[in-house]
A and B are shown apart, each in its own frame.
Chain A
């Protein structure tokens, strides 16, 4: 799963995740990492990784899963 495009990058939490040059490293890393930041509000999410997947929860914007 690649980094979701929202207001914030789901790996580094910085703005402009659609800026390919600025977030190329994030996109590559996300192939082997779950998301860490909510793309809507930049909150750090609670992330649980299990052997076959992951879930990530933002207190304001709900949960994502692999």
Chain B
């Protein structure tokens, strides 16, 4: 039954809210094109969808870079590529510091700790560092360990399962048709291949990307639809934070209204997925945007700092969650 003057939101109310099915690509595009005055209605519906199909809990995660910089790939948004004149230097985090970061993350109430490395894929040294690091974390602190190490072989997927890594992040970054404009050193299909192996292994799949890379609204809708096809357990939603020295260093920060449209659209495309606020939200949406997103379909946050840039203090996000009466998802609920 129509409830608004916006036909696409009426269709979404029936298909997404009532039936739990994701919005199809043509309607995702319509949401991305909604006039400004209809953004609050889209966010409200996205929030209802999140509450109905995911519940009120918010999953909190901390991330840390185990190996920073010096990456051989040319992802045009990334300050960690060794191919650009970025000021980011290569550095490794030692195991005691990794464990300390996990403990500090757990102390915020987070249930997830993701270890990230700037690589095409892990070599033997990195896999050994992961083996030692995950073991040390599990001995020291109760927290789920996730990993993001680039493209994997089947043997490496199996090794990560054996280590007890419960979720693997590998972002598609953008839609298939725009990917060659952003990355030329590997293909979208290679990333998809790793994601399929991860899915088949039983690890949870975390796959999202970056909005505002210069893609069209049609391509943004295409990306949401491709993620819906993958059905990841989690989608981290980043907004481009243009990094000095990268090919996208002069790209403008995206319009906050477009960012809010994207949040609503991705929630309506992925009604049952953990939709996480990730990098770039501070620069794109500011403090107010964090609240609007959490009331517009977002049900997970990265707290504290990112890999090479800084975020809001964890306490700011946790206080906001308390104010919004959104409980932090307990570790026990994720095991």
Contacts and interface: CB of A to CB of B under 8 A. Distances in A.
A32 interface: yes
B127 to A, nearest CB: 21
A33 B310 contact: yes
Contacts of A31: 310
B201 interface: no
Given A12-B244, A32-B282, A49 B89 contact: no
Contact of A44 (B63, B87, B108, B314): B87
B307 interface: yes
A48 B96 CA distance: 14
Contacts of B101: 50-52
Given A46-B89, A51-B105, A33 B97 contact: no
Interface string B85-113: 00111110100010011001100100000
Contacts of B54: none
A51 B315 CA distance: 12
Contact of B309 (A33, A44, A46, A52): A33
Contacts of A50: 64, 93, 97, 100-101, 104, 305
Interface residues of A, number: 20
Contacts of A52: 101, 104, 304-305, 314
A47 interface: yes
B89 A47 contact: yes
Chain B interface size, as a band, is 20 to 34
Given A32-B309, A49-B309, A51-B314, A37 B87 contact: yes
Interface string A39-66: 0000011111111111000000000000
Interface string B262-294: 000000000000000000001100000000000
A48 B93 contact: yes
B89 A45 contact: yes
Interface in A1-40: 11-13, 31-34, 36-37
Give 4 closest A-B pairs by Cβ, nearest first.
A51-B304, A36-B87, A51-B62, A50-B101
Interface of A: 11-13, 31-34, 36-37, 44-54
Interface of B: 62-65, 68, 87-91, 93, 97, 100-101, 104-105, 108, 244, 282-283, 303-311, 314
